[in-house]
A and B are shown apart, each in its own frame.
Chain A
Amino acid sequence: MKTDRIFRAVLYAGGAFVALLVLLAFLSLCHASWLSLKKFGIKFILSREWDPVNEKFGALPFIVGTFMTSIIALIISLPFSISIALLLGVYLREGFIKKVLTYATDLLAGIPSIIYGFWGLFFLVPLVRKLEMKLGVLPYGVGILTASIVLAIMIVPYTSSIAREVISMVPGDIIEAGFSLGATTREIIFGIILPYARSGIFAGILLAFGRAFGETMAVTMVIGNSNCMPKSIFCPANTMASVIANEFTEATKDIHLSSLIYIGLWLFLFTFAINLLGNLVIKKFRVEVKNE
């Protein structure tokens, strides 16, 4: 009994420690960005100007850049990740090909982001430039679209592996019941599996979105790093994480450094809000399943 109590105490301590860490991270971000927070307040995320020389700081272009790249990346990646999940979860329930495919997608998650960045810079950028020349826009090659494609590939394994797990957890008896009623595999997928697994799939999408939202290295290498407001998906832009990565080491003025950390604080808040919202949606989906 005594060891049991100790074990429980250790677990509680571990949990409390993690919660404390998050709180402390938030507080230290607030503390370090105080100078900028005091000077710019909420206007910081509404202003378009980022001028370190004249000490004017506004993060709107970076926030727009972050949302644009992550949302486009999500849209590009979804068809692929859901198809892979369905293929592995429904069609190929076992066998050699399933193993190879599973390893391959999981491996995608293990590749360091700098490798994705280099691949994007040397392989994808020339391709996008060719496309841009055909379309008649300025052929930079780097920009929001390129960054989104790189991100899309990076986040495929996050959605697909979670979706695959949830799909394989759909109870076999209801699937068999479907088949016994004469449903085709496609009908089973759309009528039973997807509705049943949707909250889990959504959790996977959320995880992927979070990954894309905060990705730094690969994005910095291919996004073009321009502080202007992005006007189209071919524009060079900047994300919140890429600005911090770019300017942090050489920010000598206090207000500049503080403003970069302030971006970090907003990144923290946005990620928090997205997760909160996502959890609400997941819950809502679950309730519906129970009611059915």
Chain B
Amino acid sequence: MPGSPWREDKAGYNNRLNRGPTKLAYAHRHLLAIEGLEPAEIAQLLDLAESYVLLNRSGQTARDLLRGKTLINLFFEDSTRTRTSFELAGKRLGADVINMSVATSSVNKGETLLDTAATLNAMQCDLLAVRHAQSGAPSLLAQKVGAAVINAGDGMHEHPTQALLDALTIRRRKGRLEGLNVAICGDIAHSRVARSNVHLLTAMGSHVRLIGPPNLLPAGIEELGAAVFHDMKSGLAEADIVMMLRLQRERMTGGEVPSAREFFRFFGLDSEKLAYARPDALVMHPGPMNRGVEIESRVADDPERSVIGEQVEMGVAVRMAVLDTLARGPRRNI
């Protein structure tokens, strides 16, 4: 990427490493949502993440950075990918990482979210990554725990680290986040990834288009600053980025989408539809993919166009940056 200010720059990485932790403007105790973050805060998280990409690629770790800190991954919803990413991020920074998933916790026995919060406080945890099926659950926990809370996906609300890793992927490939046309396609209504991405990308000056059948677009989403399309041809015109969303299979029988083949016919990404976008448009997907439902394998696996694998790599770096940033704040005693 000639001219990119974020190209891999060994000297820059070494400078950052030698300076020690940079002072960040990030002015929040938690990371609960992208909405409400200033562009400068987003940019600084991305810059820090950038340095962790280089660190990870160099095969080194920074195990002294979060030594003695505890990260608990509290997952009320199954997710191998995000949980693993947080786990790896914590370990590479030297934190003690504990995974609590709903299947092994007392939450199944009727313990409330706030009882769980009290338990976590007693364990003196510093960082808490929370995934929950209910919108707002991490912010409820954040009011009651001493740890810094990272929203690892809540209901249909937000998934801030996913939007950050998507932004980092885009910025590294395109050299910027301003002025890009980003198309997000599929089941927008139920997608926290879409909401976080709309907030982040519009805050950074990109143009977001949302493409999907009208009943899978949430009411009033235009007011968040996105343009809405109901067909791939017009929605993908001039797109620099084509971001596909996972279609929840249960929605295909409930009446929202009559069948998988019908959905793929109109909203699934294949080479033909990808041709509507710019010739250098990149294909993204937050995973896990339903091949043949929202994306064709040929596109998903095309090394020229697909950056789906790179998104996973950026995920670890972004989560390292978030953990590093939040760990600098003091732990509150509750």
Q: State whether these chains interact.
A: no
Q: Taking beta carbons and an 8 Å cutoff, which residues of B are in contact with A? A: none
